[in-house]
A and B are shown apart, each in its own frame.
Chain A
Amino acid sequence: MNKLTDKFIWKSLKEGDLNAFSVLFETYYPQLHSYGLKISKDVTITEDTLQDFFLYIYEKRENLSDLDNIAPYLFTSYKRFLLNVIKKNKKIKYLDFTTETINDIQFTKEELIIEQETESFRNKNITKLLNKLPKRQKEVIYLKYYSGLKAAEISEIMDINYQSVINTLHKAIKSLKEEISILKLFK
């Protein structure tokens, strides 16, 4: 969605327009679904919290502030919403989460697109390398290349400045590239 439609849809939602809300839902549900899965690693929790989250947005619509750009707001508040639920569930020992696994994005081998010349063993290693990156670098990589968000939007979501997003991304890609070329040497 471009900026103009974002602004228009958000305004219509605040006025209680259910059609605008359905457009918003259809646009962002798939992205938030993947994001939620990455954080919670549980389909039921992801889908239940998404229902509650969108219902919450609709009920609170009159109190929402004006927005030019919807994605950062949705990603940030959904993550907060989801983490609260996970923490609550943890207290009643419904799930066995450790603090480290919460919010730590893990990539799977299947998610990486294999280049023709890349052998499967190396692909497995790239996944390992990706998962070894610091938490924040992984999240920036996820938001940029998986959710397809713009760097400016990522900087809003992660509450860091734009230059840091670029630097974090570059650091991550660079270390991946270095590791990969070392792997090539030992092939």
Chain B
Amino acid sequence: MIKKEYNNVLDFLEDPSFKNWAEQKNATDINYWEFWIANNPEKKELIEKAKDLTLGISFNKEIVSSEKVAFEWNRLESKIKATKRAPKGKLKYLKQLGIAASITFLISLGFYFINNTSKITHTTNYGEILNIKLQDGSDVTLNSNSSLSYYKNKSRKVWLTGEAFFQVDKKLSTNAKFWVLTDDLSVEVYGTSFNVNTKKKKTEVFLEEGNIWLKLKNGVEKKMIPGNYISYSSKQEKILEDKNIYNPTLKTSWKDGSLLFENLTLQNALEKIEETYGYSIMFEDDYSKNVLITGAVPNTNIEICLKAIEKSVGVKISKKNNTLIVSKK
């Protein structure tokens, strides 16, 4: 990331950490560059220049909507298909030509439809986390053993099984909504960040920032404000939990690669391990079931994860096929 030689403006401009410093975005980068500048006073002028160019001018961009782009593409595509097929017709062929043209039109319509309805699906295995950038600019982090699908050109409506963290871009120009659909409910948003988890035959939604509306399968609508956590099951037709969570990282830390436990019994904590890595758990004694655990473990490396748990609560965990056997040390 950080280059060793900085001799011209370009060297700075092409360094992402420099951009972070100029925009005062990332504490590590800010510290690094403050230190670097103090130690390289002769580069002051160059730095000033690069900073000016990096910050530049911010514009409210007026960008055409994706609906408009799709419409214009449809127009163009019919023209392409028409010029491709239309023969240099004489008058007596006019009828056939008319038929040919309407067939071409139907075909292009069909192509348009197929193109728009081809489904894109992202899936993850156990112990795998995937970062997805959707066409509209929204970011999705997909947790292990989960899947996210949407139709091409319609990435603002997604279907989720498993768990994902969403950072949805606001569409200022069109005010277009973003939907997440699960078996239990749909989440309707304009621009915000939130976590959705459908593991364990229910859907849990945790809102970190902004506002969202939930439409539960039983027809009830619920507005959520930051910090709200709701879990709903369509099978039981009821809200299982509705509370506030004051430490958001407890619900979202998985996206940064770790599972957080705060005063959980090992049994509860290992349920998370079950979900994440796809093992089933067996306890050999009551001590290992009920001992309390607090701390963070990695969610993409089972070896380190198990070692950390063994060390922090004094148990032994052995793997047998797809089962983890836990016993007191």
A and B form one complex = yes
Residue numbers of A with Cβ under 8 A of B are: 18-19, 22, 25-26, 29-30, 33-34, 37, 47, 50-51, 54-55, 58-59, 107, 110-113, 130, 141, 144-146, 151, 162, 166, 169-170, 173-174, 176-177
Task: List the B side residues contacting A141 at CB < 8 Å.
Answer: 56-57
CA distance A25 to B115 in the complex (A): 14
Residue of A nearest to B51 (CB): A173
The answer to whether B100 has its CB under 8 Å from any CB of chain A is no
- B52, B57, B77, B79: the one contacting A174 at CB < 8 Å is B52
Extra contacts besides A25-B69, A34-B64, A112-B58 (10): CB < 8 Å: A19-B115, A25-B72, A34-B62, A37-B62, A113-B60, A141-B57, A144-B56, A146-B61, A169-B53, A177-B52
Once the chains bind, are A34 and B63 in contact (CB under 8 Å)?
yes
Whether A50 contacts B59 in the complex (CB less than 8 A), given A19-B115, A174-B52, comes out as: no
Interface size, B (range): 20 to 34
Whether A59 contacts B57 in the complex (CB less than 8 A), given A26-B153, A30-B63, A111-B62, comes out as: no
The answer to whether B75 has its CB under 8 Å from any CB of chain A is yes
Residue numbers of B with Cβ under 8 A of A are: 9-10, 13, 49, 52-53, 56-64, 66, 69-70, 72-73, 75-77, 79-80, 83, 111, 115, 153
CA distance A25 to B112 in the complex (A): 14
CA distance A59 to B82 in the complex (A): 12
- A25, A30, A145, A162: the one contacting B58 at CB < 8 Å is A145
Once the chains bind, are B69 and A112 in contact (CB under 8 Å)?
no
Task: List the A side residues contacting B57 at CB < 8 Å.
Answer: 112, 130, 141, 145, 173, 176
Q: How far is the CB of A61 from chain B (nearest CB, A)?
A: 11
Task: List the A side residues contacting B80 at CB < 8 Å.
Answer: 18, 55, 58
Task: List the B side residues contacting A34 at CB < 8 Å.
Answer: 61-64
CA distance A34 to B61 in the complex (A): 8
CA distance A107 to B59 in the complex (A): 9
Task: List the A side residues contacting B73 at CB < 8 Å.
Answer: 22, 25-26, 29
Once the chains bind, are A55 and B79 in contact (CB under 8 Å)?
yes
Task: List the A side residues contacting B60 at CB < 8 Å.
Answer: 110-113
Q: How far is the CB of B276 from chain A (nearest CB, A)?
A: 31
CA distance A23 to B77 in the complex (A): 12
Question: Can you spell out 7 A-B residue pairs with CB atoms less than 8 angstroms apart?
Answer: A25-B76, A29-B64, A29-B69, A51-B76, A51-B79, A55-B79, A166-B53
- A51, A111, A113: the one contacting B72 at CB < 8 Å is A51
Task: List the B side residues contacting A59 at CB < 8 Å.
Answer: 83
CA distance A5 to B111 in the complex (A): 23
Residue of B nearest to A37 (CB): B62
Once the chains bind, are A33 and B53 in contact (CB under 8 Å)?
no
Once the chains bind, are A145 and B79 in contact (CB under 8 Å)?
no
Once the chains bind, are B115 and A30 in contact (CB under 8 Å)?
no
Whether A111 contacts B59 in the complex (CB less than 8 A), given A26-B73, A47-B72, comes out as: yes
CA distance A6 to B300 in the complex (A): 33
Once the chains bind, are A166 and B72 in contact (CB under 8 Å)?
no
- A51, A113, A162: the one contacting B59 at CB < 8 Å is A113
CA distance A47 to B77 in the complex (A): 15
Once the chains bind, are B53 and A55 in contact (CB under 8 Å)?
no
Whether A30 contacts B75 in the complex (CB less than 8 A), given A113-B59, A144-B56, comes out as: no
Once the chains bind, are A113 and B58 in contact (CB under 8 Å)?
yes
CA distance A96 to B70 in the complex (A): 32
- A30, A146, A151: the one contacting B64 at CB < 8 Å is A30
Once the chains bind, are A33 and B77 in contact (CB under 8 Å)?
no
- B63, B75, B77: the one contacting A22 at CB < 8 Å is B77
Q: How far is the CB of B63 from chain A (nearest CB, A)?
A: 5
Whether A112 contacts B59 in the complex (CB less than 8 A), given A22-B73, A26-B73, comes out as: yes
Task: List the B side residues contacting A166 at CB < 8 Å.
Answer: 9-10, 53
